[in-house]
Chains A and B, each alone.
Chain A
Amino acid sequence: MASLALEEHDGLTRIALAGRLDAYSVGPLWRAARSALDHHAQQRLIVDCSRVEYCDGAGVALLLDMLRQPRPAGAEVRVEGLAERFRRLLEQFDPKSLAPAPVEAPRVGLVEQVGRAGAQVGADLRELVAFLGEAVAALAYAVRHPRVLRWRDIFYVAEEAGVNALPIVALVSFLLGVILAFQSAVAMKQFGAEIFVANLLALSILRELGPLMTAILLAGRSGAAFAAEIGTMKVNQEIDALTTMGLDPVKFLVVTRVLAATAMILPLTVLANLIALVGGALVMLTFEIPIATYYKQAVSFATLADFFGGLAKALVFGVLIAGIGCLRGLQTGTGASAVGIAATSAVVSGIVLIVFVDGVFAVVFYYLGI
Chain B
Amino acid sequence: MSSEVAIRVEALRTGFGDFIVHENVSFEVARGEVFAVLGGSGCGKTVLLKHMIGLYRPLAGKVSIFGADLTAAAGEARLAILKRFGVMYQLGALFGNMTLAENIRLPLEEYTDLPDEAMDLIAETKLRLVNLGGAGQRTPAEISGGMMKRAAIARAMALDPDIIFLDEPSGGLDPVTSAELDQLILRLARSLGITFVVITHELPSIFAIADRCIMLDKRVKGIIAEGRPAELRDHSPDPRVRRFFNREPEPEPALA
Contacts and interface: CB of A to CB of B under 8 A. Distances in A.
Interface stretch (A5-13, A244-252, A275-283): A244-252
A94 B255 contact: yes
A97 B55 CA distance: 39
Given A94-B255, A97-B256, A246-B79, A241 B96 contact: no
Contact of B89 (A91, A97, A240, A247): A240
B61 interface: no
A236 B96 contact: yes
B87 A241 contact: yes
A60 to B, nearest CB: 14
Contacts of B86: 244
Interface residues of A, number: 16
Contact of B96 (A238, A240, A244): A238
Given A243-B55, A246-B82, A238 B110 contact: no
A42 interface: no
Interface string A73-112: 0000000000000000001001011000000000000000
Interface in A226-242: 232-233, 236-238, 240-241
B90 interface: yes
A244 B55 contact: yes
Interface in B68-96: 78-79, 82-83, 85-87, 89-96
A243 B53 CA distance: 10
B129 interface: no
Report whether over half of chain A's contact residues are helix, strand or loop; otherwise say mixed.
Answer: helix
Contact of B256 (A94, A232, A240, A244): A94
A97 B95 CA distance: 47
A237 B110 contact: no
A244 B95 contact: no
Nearest to A156: B97
Contacts of A232: 96
Interface residues of B, number: 26
Contacts, number: 52
Contacts of A241: 87, 89, 93, 95, 155
A236 B91 contact: yes
A356 B82 CA distance: 41
Contacts of A96: 256
A238 B93 contact: yes
A91 B83 contact: no
A64 to B, nearest CB: 13
A244 B54 contact: yes
A216 to B, nearest CB: 26
Nearest to B81: A246
B95 A240 contact: no
Contacts of B95: 233, 238, 241
B231 to A, nearest CB: 32
Contacts of B255: 91, 94
20 contacts: A91-B255, A96-B256, A232-B96, A233-B96, A236-B96, A237-B91, A238-B93, A240-B50, A241-B89, A241-B93, A241-B95, A241-B155, A243-B54, A244-B54, A244-B82, A245-B82, A245-B107, A246-B79, A246-B82, A246-B110
Interface of B: 50, 53-55, 78-79, 82-83, 85-87, 89-96, 106-107, 110-111, 155, 255-256
Interface of A: 91, 94, 96-97, 232-233, 236-238, 240-241, 243-247
Which 7 pairs of residues, A with B, have the shortest CB-CB distance?
Answer: A237-B93, A246-B82, A241-B93, A237-B89, A246-B79, A238-B93, A244-B87
